[in-house]
Amino acid sequence: MSGLREALASYMDLRRGMGFKLERDEKLLGQFLAYLEQRGSGAVTVADALAWATLPAGASPGWLRMRITVVRGFAAYLATLDPAAEVPPASLLPGGTRRAVPYLYSAADITALMAQAERLRTPPRTAAIQTLIGLLAVTGMRIGEALSLDDEDFDTTKGTLLVRHAKFGTHRLLPLHPTTVTAVQGYRRLRDQAFPHPASPALLVSSTGTRLLYYNVSQTFTKLARRAGLAARSGRCRPRPHDLRHSFAVATLLDWCRDGGDVASRMPLLSAYLGHTEPANTYWYLQAAPELLAEATRRLGDWPGGLR
């Protein structure tokens, strides 16, 4: 094994120890090292990094920047071992990712999505997608967390969901409203009637009884949103399943603002419920939604002396 290959293995171990999965990064970096080996290069240079990153003909600027960003992270690690190692500058390729603007769903939007799910091909599919949408809307779970739920993660006695496959490998317990518990119990009865001999331990299953796949769910959601008339609000604001998480967070914060309570003291509770590693990630929602900014402005205006 070459020195760079050994360094890559150590780099992957380090990053994964911090909770990152990095399947894509490992694949790309393996391809990058194979490129260097073909050229007889034993070190990472800016020139080689740029040449490899821009190899795919006709690739989008975003993909090319992704490739150079992956190499840049590895090069930065190498620089901690050898100060002479070259680290590609962040500005080497134009563009970059821009965070999507959350598509905030109203209660009517969610009802419309649920109604369109009635048109899906089979009753098990309809029930699974409606339950998934409902859970995302009322818990703010990441879609990957919801799809990873096993049947045993739902405690009917305590009315909780155990999220065991959260980001960075963390776990958390989500208390559910009694109406949500009732809805999930109803889904389980329908699922068990359709699949008396489970093919999967999953809570939410496909039309064949297997665990739901993200790609298929995403495709279905896009179709439901289109049929429900949920049009894109801009190039960066389109209805996505993940935006149900944003909508939950924003709706919770709006309720807290409007009831006159101390929002700051409650933020750690919302952070824990959403599975954020630190409250700063939750505070992002304060600037992500115009509704929250307007409510904050109104509250400031209600202070003695108004805004200063």
Per annotation, catalytic residue among 67, 125, 245, 246: 245
Q: Rounded to 5 degrees, what are φ and ψ at 205?
A: -125, 165
Per annotation, catalytic residue among 164, 223, 242, 283: 242
Q: How far is CA 128 from the centre of its chain?
A: 20
Annotated catalytic residue 177: no
Per annotation, catalytic residue among 167, 172, 238, 240: 167
Per annotation, catalytic residue among 105, 187, 273, 285: 285
Taking a C-beta distance cutoff of 8 angstroms, is the pair 102, 288 a contact? yes
Annotated catalytic residue 214: no
Burial 139-176 (b: 16+ CB within 10 A, else e): bbbbbebbbbbeeebbeeeebebebbbbeeeeeeebeb
DSSP code for 164: -
Q: Rounded to 5 degrees, what are φ and ψ at 267?
A: -55, -40
Annotated catalytic residue 142: yes
Per annotation, catalytic residue among 65, 67, 125, 142: 142
Burial 179-192 (b: 16+ CB within 10 A, else e): ebbebbeebbeebe
Annotated catalytic residue 11: no
Annotated catalytic residue 27: no
> What's the token pair of residue 242?
């993940």
CA dist., res. 104 & res. 66, Å (int): 28
Taking a C-beta distance cutoff of 8 angstroms, is the pair 234, 245 a contact? no
Annotated catalytic residue 285: yes
Please identify every residue annotated as catalytic.
142, 167, 242, 245, 276, 285
